[in-house]
Structure 1
Amino acid sequence: MTRRELEQLVDLGEGLSLEFKRRVPQPQRIAKEVVALANTRGGRIVLGVNDDGTVAGIDHASEERFLLRQAVEAHCQPPVDYETERVVVEPRCDVLVVTIPESDEKPHLVVADGAPEEQGAVYVRVEAKSMEASPETVQELREQRQKSGTTFEFGETESLLMRYLDDYGRISVSQLAQLADISPEQASQTLLRLTRADLLHLHPDEDGDYFTLNY
């Protein structure tokens, strides 16, 4: 990547697939960003850039690479693939571009030192933030490979759901539970079943996940 290409990348600003960091933060914090990108659509973390897009640079790219590798190896489960590229901005001032592809092994978790994997947390990108995934999002990540061939019975609950979506455009687990007079667990499974069948789309959101029609 050239300096000009770096400037064009930074001009895009932080978003769903782009995160700026002044330097590698605490291990679990950078692991959260890596995992969130891998669990969503992939993207880049640019080290040496402030949140406002100011290119501050880093003095020792090799040290930042080492800290990043340590954090990913210690706190990302299963392991996340990534690549790094050093861009020279000026003498003794580099930027490190970390590219994380969308993973085929979702969901990746962030685990604490010495903690078992089942105690880890799953993160996804929502707009320009990395946030902890809801149970519905975690289950959807686990089942993405199994979407094809999903079958289900289209009953009263599904009919109510479709009519509601035609009128209002979006629905949450709690709204479906109230609408159909079923438990939140049943509402969640109904929505996820229709999502696996590609009839609905799940939108992670920091104010609460919601579902929309997928057409």
Structure 2
Amino acid sequence: MTLTDAQQLIAQGEGHQIEFKLKAKHPDKIIREIVAFSNSKGGHLFIGVDDDGNIVGLKDAEEAHYVMEKAMQELCRPQIKYEYQIIPIDGKRAIVHYQFESGKKKPYFAFLKPFHKRGRSFVRLEDRSIQASRELRQILKFSLKDTMTPFEYGENEKILLNYLGNHEEITVNTFCTVGNIDKQLASQTLIKLTVNNVLKVIPDEKEDRFIFVA
């Protein structure tokens, strides 16, 4: 990628597939963005660019990459594949560009410390990275399989689809109320219908929303 190519991408601003970081000072926080890209549609991360898209650059881009490389190795599970380039902007400064694909081993998790046994999974929502719900983590996992998950079209499914026939969306908690069922059953039903392409999940910081597949 040339500097001109980078400038064109940066000019689009932060969004679903573009993220800026001024420095690699807090890699544990940047890891969330990387995990979110890998759990979503991939994306571009620029180190040395501020939130407004100003290309400030880094005095030691190699050191910034070393910090990020170490963090990705220690704090991301499964390991995330990426490509990177150090792009000079003048004789003294450069930016680091990372490109991440949509991962093939979803869901990916970010860990605060290398020795931690439990991490948190993130997905991309517009220009932010939000924590993935239990339902979304399961959907990400099943989305990698070629075959659909069999399910029976029973009373709960009928109640759910009838509700969506009259409303634009439904959440796990709403389904619990409408179907008079517990949260686990509501969750499982929504997951099954989503991985079978009957429903689509829309991630949300408060509560995921489920809609009919258009």
- TM-score class normalised by the smaller sequence: over 0.9
Aligned to 2:210: 211
Aligned to 1:186: 185
- Greater mean deviation of Cα atoms: 179-188 or 87-96: 87-96
Aligned to 2:91: 91
Structure 2 Cα separation of the partners of residues 25 and 101 of structure 1: 24
Question: Which one-letter code corresponds to 2:121 in the other structure?
Answer: V
Structure 1 Cα separation of the partners of residues 161 and 151 of structure 2: 14
- TM-score between both structures, scaled by the size of structure 1: 0.95
Q: CA RMSD in A?
A: 1.3
The share of aligned pairs that are identical, in percent, is 32
Aligned to 1:132: 131
- Greater mean deviation of Cα atoms: 106-115 or 135-144: 106-115
Structure 2 Cα separation of the partners of residues 6 and 175 of structure 1: 44
Q: In structure 2, the residue corresponding to 1:159 is in which secondary structure?
A: helix
- TM-score between both structures, scaled by the size of structure 2: 0.95
Question: Which one-letter code corresponds to 1:121 in the other structure?
Answer: R
- Greater mean deviation of Cα atoms: 23-32 or 9-18: 23-32
1:86-125 correspondence runs (5 A): 86-117=86-117, 119-125=118-124
Structure 2 Cα separation of the partners of residues 81 and 59 of structure 1: 26
Structure 1 residue ranges (4+ consecutive) displaced by more than 6 angstroms after TM superposition: none
Aligned to 1:51: 51
- Residues 115/9 of structure 1: CA separation in 2 closer, same or farther (3 Å cut): same
- Count of residues paired in the alignment: 214
- Residues 147/198 of structure 1: CA separation in 2 closer, same or farther (3 Å cut): farther
Asked whether the equivalents of residues 35 and 76 of structure 1 are also in contact (C-alpha less than 8 Å), the reply is: yes
- Measured against aligned partners, the alpha-carbon deviations of 1:116-140 in whole angstroms (never above 9, x if no partner) come to 43x1111111111111111111111
- Measured against aligned partners, the alpha-carbon deviations of 1:32-60 in whole angstroms (never above 9, x if no partner) come to 11111111111010111101111111111
Aligned to 1:175: 174
Question: Which one-letter code corresponds to 1:13 in the other structure?
Answer: G
Aligned to 1:16: 16
Question: Which one-letter code corresponds to 1:108 in the other structure?
Answer: Y
Structure 2 Cα separation of the partners of residues 181 and 140 of structure 1: 23
Question: Which one-letter code corresponds to 1:173 in the other structure?
Answer: V
- Measured against aligned partners, the alpha-carbon deviations of 1:174-208 in whole angstroms (never above 9, x if no partner) come to 00110000001110000000011110111111131
Question: Which one-letter code corresponds to 2:162 in the other structure?
Answer: R
Asked whether the equivalents of residues 74 and 114 of structure 2 are also in contact (C-alpha less than 8 Å), the reply is: no
Q: In structure 1, the residue corresponding to 2:144 is in which secondary structure?
A: helix
Q: In structure 2, the residue corresponding to 1:175 is in which secondary structure?
A: helix
